[in-house]
Amino acid sequence: MERKLNPETDKKKIEDVLRLLKLNDVDLSKLSEQQRKEMKDHKFWKTQPVPSFDEKIEEEGPIHSDKTPDDIPNEPLPMLPDFEWCTVDIEDEGQLENVFVLLNENYVEDRDAEFRFNYTKDFFKWALKCPGWKPEWNVGVRVKSTGKLVSFISAIPVDLRVRSKFLKSVEINFLCIHKQLRSKRLAPVLIKEITRRVNKENIWHALYTAGTVLPSPISTCRYTHRPLNWSKLCEVGFTALPEGKTNPQMVAQYTLPKGPLMKGFRPLELKDIDETLSLFNRYQERFDLVQLFSKEEFKHWFLGSTDSKVSTESEVIYSYVVENENGKIVDFVSFYSLPFTILNNAVYKNLGIGYLFYYASDADFTYTDRLNPEASEKLKKRLNSLVKDVLIIAKSNKMDVFNALTSQDNSLFLDDLKFGPGDGFLNFYLFNYRAFPVHGGITETKKYDVEKRSDVGIVML
């Protein structure tokens, strides 16, 4: 989970984290002996095909590549007494409700236990039922006597490109264990089971993320936050009033226009898919870690459940394009909604959150080097306008804050559009694959890396 806006008092804490992790190239060499010992004591991860913290990678490629589905057991590992494995049927409203309740009551909270993800059923349907999804990749653990769902983990198919290599893979997400069972060490068992089920389909790689440092990140990005409703964020403790500032000054600082400003800015429609996908694919070529989308996948992820245009009724995915005067689509941008539940607040129960998803622009296509100063300036100007309109749309849909990572080309607009650095970091991991570090858009001094930007072109929910 991304963290709260970073007040001045947290600067030393952030500097310490960055100094230790040296996040720009995921160098963990400066951890203390005690910290390194704790990390090496990850008994489970030492048994898995992932690089160790101190492993020097000489060549990119699979760690294990000699297995076949016939080598994989047909049955899961034994489960703890009183519990049983299950495949969660997310097309059954009752079982989807079980997942909804489990995650909304037990999923990730921020450090101070003030906020928790507030998933909706529409969000789960969008996130878990992409083209090629498999029912058996929604794995649960239930109490035998009551049938209560107490653990869950999921996988969806993704085709990855890691630099020039293409990997048939899955994306692992929504690992959740009931709070009362977290001492039972169910997480490794769940990971082994989802791995077994994926391997039976002859898929041997996975992409996953975590806020914690595990062996061994391929990249690390930082969360950033752009207030849309400053007063509410301050009242619920999501951010603090800076010293020497007043609430009206902060409200004025983050005020946005009433409506989008870019000429030709409109919702993505079904008729736009081919042209937009072509623009998007060309834009993604600049990054080292990306997901490849088929036409059907692109329709699913960016049009949601509708047949003709982006859905605003479900309040999950919002996608837009910019069409120029010649009828050509020159920009594409999307974001999704995933609100928070506000814990222990007498006035507010929910916090509206928008998350920047994927985007593309042809602003710098005439240049062969994306880091060319002239190319960067042109792209910066276009992205500033594009994301500003997205912020306006998010505000009009009652979102209180808008989040973005330092991935993609985000560093070009984060400062200009008043995104503040959060105290949360997201680590990217590849299962059964060694890869050189991928730059995450952060400098050694915790700043947004406007010069190098990021080589991470994938966004995980």
DSSP symbols for 17-30: HHHHH-TTTT--TT
Other C-beta atoms closer than 10 Å to the C-beta of 74 total 8
Phi-psi region of 398 (alpha: psi -120 to 50; beta: other; left: phi over 0): left
In Å, what is the CA distance from 20 to each residue of 14, 16, 69, 419, 455? Answer: 10, 6, 41, 24, 22
Exposure b/e, 415-448, CB count within 10 A at least 16 = b: eebebbbbbbbbbbbbbbbbbebbbbbbbeebbb
Reported confidence tier of residue 413, pLDDT bands at 50, 70, 90? very high
Cα–Cα dist 264/330, whole Å: 10
The Cα–Cα gap between 411 and 430 comes to 24
Same domain, 198 and 239: no
Asked if the structure places residue 271 within a domain, the reply is: yes
Residues 230-245 have a mean pLDDT of 88
**Are 301 and 243 within one domain?**
yes
Separation CA 233–CA 241 (nearest Å): 10
The whole-number pLDDT of residue 237 equals: 84
Q: Are residues 200 and 229 in the same domain?
A: no
pTM for the full model? 0.88
pLDDT in the model for residue 113: 58
Low-confidence winner among 21-30, 247-256, 315-324 (lowest mean pLDDT) = 21-30
Specify the CATH number for the domain of residue 331.
Answer: 3.40.630.30
Domain that holds residue 55: 42-208
Q: Are residues 340 and 287 in the same domain?
A: yes
Could you give the maximum distance between any two Cα atoms of the chain, in Å?
66
pLDDT computed for residue 376 by the predictor: 97
Q: Do 229 and 204 sit in the same domain of this protein? A: no
Chain length of the chain:
461
What's the mean pLDDT in 292-308? 84
Let me know if 458 is exposed, middle or buried by CB neighbors in 10 A (0-12, 13-18, 19+): buried
Local confidence band at 314 (pLDDT 50, 70, 90 cut-offs): low
Tell me, yes or no, whether 96 lies in a domain: yes
Q: Tell whether 79 is covered by a domain.
A: yes
Looking at the fold, whether 340 and 225 belong to one and the same domain comes out as yes
* Structural domains in the chain (count): 2
- For 17-73, what is each residue's pLDDT tens digit? 333 333 333 344 444 454 454 444 467 888 899 998 888 899 999 999 889 999 999
Q: Are residues 255 and 355 in the same domain?
A: yes
Least-confidence region, from 23-27, 306-310, 400-404, 405-409 = 23-27
User: How far apart (Å, rounded) are the C-alpha atoms in residues 19 and 37?
Assistant: 18
Average pLDDT, integer, range 196-218: 94
Q: Does 160 qualify as catalytic in the annotation?
A: no
Residue 236: the pLDDT is 87
Q: Are 261 and 129 part of one and the same domain?
A: no
d(CA 116, CA 305): 26
Average pLDDT of 334-362? 90
* DSSP assignment letter at 325: T
Contact 26, 219 (CB under 8 A): yes
Residue 341 lies in a domain: yes
- Domain end position, chosen among 164, 184, 208: 208
200 with 258, same domain?
A: no
For residue 13, is pLDDT > 90? Answer: no
Is 1 a domain residue?
A: no
H-helix or E-strand containing 117? strand 115-117
Query: What pLDDT score was predicted for residue 108?
Result: 58
| pLDDT at residue 301 greater than cutoff 70 | yes
Active-site hit among 28, 31, 292, 461: 461
